Amino acid sequence: MSAAAGPAEPRLRRSRARWAWAVGVLLVVGWSLAGAGAFSGEVLNPAGVRQFTRFAVGALHPDLSADFRGVLVTSTLVTVAYAALGAALAVLAGALGALALTRTTWGRRRAGWVLARAVVAVPRGLHEAVWGLLLVNVLGLNPWVGVLAIAVPYGAVSAKVFADLLDEVPRGGYEALLAAGAGRGVAALYGLLPPAAGGLLAYAFYRLECAVRSAVVLGLIGAGGLGYQLSLSFSSLRWEQVWSCVYALTALCVAAVVAGRAVRRRLSDPPPVRGDRLRRDAALTWAGLAALALTAWSWWYLAVDPATLVDVRAREQVSYLAGLAWPVSTSGPLLHALGRAAVDTVQMSVIAIALATAGAVLLSGLAVRPAHRRHSTHPGRAPRRPGVRRAAVVLAGAVVRGLVRGALLLLRAVPPPVWALVLLFVLRPGILPGALALGVYTLGVLGRLTAEALEELDPRPARALTVLGASASGVWLYGVAPRAVGPVFAYALYRWEVAIRDTVLVGLLGAGGLGALLATSLQTFDWPAVATTLGVLVLLTLAVDLVSDRAREVVR
């Protein structure tokens, strides 16, 4: 008689779906590099090295003259005003639009919910620069162009995110109010809004950070502000002024990030409640009042007039352009060109994300805050080090960390079109400079997100491996990397969705893809072709969103 078998030990199995996706990703990256001409050997432009050197040397000698400082201050105020007012309108539109997108509103009527989400996907799928070019044709040179170019796509994105936040909060209070006889609106106001308020407020301030960068991008296409001044200085080859603009952009981005992060940290770690009475958080109250004051100042500074949005000229122009754009063009040559441009756009975005992800994985470990590194990777070694040696190691780590974080901040502060123009000094025209420019910019964003993801990992597995005598590389491979793969790839896929929209921006400036085709159609006033190109762009964006969602499900 055989002995009774004990409980079967769990066996680790490889996920075939994950391996299939990994192989597919490698094949797509190789296909994209081949399509961009990276293997042809004719991508470098040696004649531009001298100009690139002059540009790099300009970083050490920014233009700090009194006249240019005055120009920078005025340009910065314009950029801040566009960003603040655009973000405020986007948050307002998002709050109202969330009511139409949340599952609570539609209940079991799934068809209506899907239709509402599809309607919002159209403004969400177009880049702010595209909205700016379309609005210029309707409103002319009006401050509303810069404001609405931010508010329309950001409002659609905010509506979707706000609806998702409301759908994800615990529904006990909401259902209890319904059972007590309250209406749906009252139940949502008191049962869903309070638990979601922190997430909603944090996302609203995050949108303000993003609006600063978008305001700079709009300036590159003529909306004014720091982006416009940067474009003028670049066109006239005044590298000292270019670097002054870059440093001003960096300082503005730092201010926006610090303010937004302070609010989010306050929301995630509120002060302890004293006594039985609930009190308003004074810091958050002042932050909200400051945001309202900034919005009011932006309205006054830009001198926007709502009447111009509905005056006779604007209505006639909308009707005129709609008549020109319909029916959309379905000519064979245009569809063929759209197919080739769509392939270029996808390849550009894939190269950008591959470069950014690889760079983020390599650099993020150096950007992680010391508390994480001390308690997770070297907890047992620090006490054995002599005091002087340990101080030198800590100082060296702080210097490296500061340099890496500063470099990542600089990469994401400079808009992708500027990186594309710089890369064109040493690369031949094509989709590769645009892809690398997007990759450099996305590396700045993804590097920061990856570093924050590493800091939030549970340090106990890495600490246990260190105590057992594992080497630093072993701790990283078995204690950190397996748990960091999911968040890092989730961020990379999210940035891919953003990059597919940003390809239009560099394309508008000649880097190829759908953006270049759209720019040509706008310059020749071929509005049927413009409508067809925008339709293809929205469909491509939706397709990338679906593929990204499916990939995230596999990674989880």
Specify the higher pLDDT residue, 243 or 168. Answer: 243
Residue 16 half-sphere exposure toward CB, CA atoms < 13 A: 0
* Closest by CA position to 209, among listed 87, 72, 383, 115: 87
pLDDT at 353: 92
Note the pLDDT of residue 276.
60
Burial of 137 (0-12, 13-18, 19+ CB in 10 A): middle
Q: Is the dihedral of CA 445, 446, 452, 453 positive or negative?
A: positive
Task: Give every CB contact of residue 127 below 8 A, 6+ residues apart in sequence.
Answer: 153, 501, 502, 504, 505
Question: For residue 244, is pLDDT > 50?
Answer: yes
The pLDDT score that the predictor gives to residue 503 is 86
More confident residue, 208 or 66: 66
Which pLDDT score, from 0 to 100, does residue 84 have?
A: 92
Distance CA 251, CA 255 (A): 6
pLDDT at 384: 53
For residue 548, give every residue at least 6 positions away whose Cβ sits within 8 Å of its Cβ, in sequence order, or none.
493, 494, 496, 497
The mean predicted confidence, pLDDT, of the chain is 82
C-alpha to C-alpha distance for 227 and 218, rounded to whole angstroms: 7
Instruction: Give the residue-averaged pLDDT of 51-80.
Output: 89
* Mean local confidence (pLDDT), 209-214: 82
In sign, the C-alpha dihedral spanning 410, 415, 419, 422 is: negative
Q: What is the mean pLDDT of residues 220-234?
A: 83
Q: What is the mean pLDDT of residues 526-547?
A: 87
pLDDT at 379: 44
- CATH number (3.90.1150.10, 1.10.3720.10, 3.40.50.150, 3.30.110.60) of 63-269+283-302 reads 1.10.3720.10
Q: What angle (nearest 5°) sits at the alpha carbon of residue 52, between those of residues 49 and 58?
A: 145
* pLDDT for 1: 41
**413 within 8 A of 245, measured Cβ to Cβ:** no
What pLDDT, on a 0 to 100 scale, did the predictor assign at position 127? 84
Give φ, ψ of 182 to 5 degrees. -75, 155
Q: Decide if 63-269+283-302 and 326-367+393-555 have a common fold.
A: yes
CB-CB contact of 246 with 410 (8 Å): yes
| Rounded Cα distance, 406 and 398, in Å | 12
Q: 296-353, pLDDT tens digit by residue?
A: 999 999 998 888 888 888 888 888 888 888 888 888 889 999 999 999 999 999 999 9
Enter the DSSP assignment of 44: B
User: Which candidate, 136, 36, 66, 84, places its Cα nearest to that of 352?
Assistant: 36
User: Residue 273's pLDDT is what?
Assistant: 65
Q: What percentage of residues in the chain have a pLDDT greater than 90? A: 14
- Residue, of 209 and 530, whose pLDDT is higher: 530
Domain limits, the chain: 63-269+283-302, 326-367+393-555
Q: Which fold has domain 326-367+393-555?
A: MetI-like fold (1.10.3720)
Residue 309 to residue 466: CA distance in whole angstroms: 64
